Structure 1
């Protein structure tokens, strides 16, 4: 049974283009299913999480990361009696707008797009699900419910100040109430993202040899987890020992969110999803102790993984790829695939419209396709 503050499909705000409801699926389930079947979702398979996609078969990609986020989000949502279908839809969609080469590609594209409104992957996700997915006869995008779009836009909290152009366009059409918090389900998706990447980046960094088990044993949560495993399984081989320890870290993070958020929800007095949005504070949180531990883990990962010399060398290489492709397409949009001809015609001589179209195209590339196009067009 769902809590009274859970999002209810029966009271969902609906879609931009009205559709007949399914006899078998709730509106949130349809949103989730459309996201899974989207071209942009499939492309996440070959997009960087931290390591460039072809560097190793065992490293996370944006697709496996999104699946792991959704799994954590389902667990937390179920424990808190929230709507698991909406939670999962937001979790699966949250990274659709990422460029090739992860945050490195985004940084490069944002700098190139600075004269035209910049680039933001969260806003680009909205652009994908409201415009760029062009498969349905009656509408562009996926025609998701307002509740899912709001969750995508605000899962990290209210959005104020200067808005990325893609978010501003979407908000102008749909009024996503950007000054308020998102639903509890979207807040769960945001913290599930934190849990997933902190855990799997430790695993991937160990596998890549950027640091050792001994290096992370001094981190909060981690050292105790290794000690618990050693006590229970004193002769365990190193690979299983590592896995057993890190899955315990994973479990502690999830348990902390559930316990902390359960208390916050009970104290909030919220009787509806609308009440959650207008509380003025998040209701899905880590405890202060856990948040401090996660900050220490993040700091370690920043220095030992995200800024490792081998990772930085690759970051420099792929930045050059994006920086080379953007001006080539901007100067000659006819280099884009034939099925982009309608967008090219609509843009005409409007430099900003052309730049945004080029950004859409590059952002949609996978790592391997960006490298192939760079080689084909530059000979490098």
Structure 2
């Protein structure tokens, strides 16, 4: 047992009252919101500890399995790699877990009272996962669509979801969204109606306006397999040609200090490229930060290798779906603009006419700049 063992109520009390109230709503726990923070916290903690199955039904499958590993661990902990943590998962957002970071290990853990409450039900819940196969698959499909496009209004999400899964109707979609903490937390209100963002979106400000000015740009198309791979709630993967993945993986294997998990790196690059305005600077920082003195035996070739690694990371990110381009990659957009430029040679676009690239700007302020 840890030296500092907190109760779930003490852990939840670290959050702001606004966060507690929001989580009560997302967890479908009914209580009047005009109560004091301590009352809300105590009620929420008691409800979760008394009804752990209620909590488990609202979580993504991989987070249920993560809680099971914590319950089964002697210290109720799992190891985490903070480098690949782009956004907090549901159990972290709810405030169920605690963290312990030091030079030797980074761990996430739950305290004793929650572990004991979960221990009574979680193994049977996991063993009977077949009962929730459809729920998990449909949740993954919707998360995949949000990760590929970044932002979708409810009607857009409904149209796409029904396209990929004939079992999903408009009414069924509402039920799916309301029975998932992850998807409820991805919802926001807009003048046009409910809008859903990728669970990995840090700030919508970087791409919402970009999407809005590209009203004439058609959304990219993806296969069902690509959507499902993009919907993994831990390591969402972008659609990439196998040749590019192999090139990236081969370069990664040459390093001696970096994590060699290709999928984790591809997922990190994809989400960072969509979230980070200074993406290239970020890539330089995380690569060179890991060099240190961990590989003195290849000091002579280190600079060249790291530069090549940075270059292929940026190149690979340019082939991934970008939210601001409605799921198209930067490489796709460059091809579209080139094709439009070729057409302009035959049919000249007026300087005050809309730019053929779909940006919504006048041609003279976009591709027609001299």
Q: Could you tell me the TM-score, scaled by structure 2's length?
A: 0.29
More strand as a share of residues: 2
Structure number with the bigger relative contact order (C-alpha 8 A, sep ≥ 6) is 1
Larger Rg: 2
More helix as a share of residues: 1
Q: Could you tell me the TM-score, scaled by structure 1's length?
A: 0.28
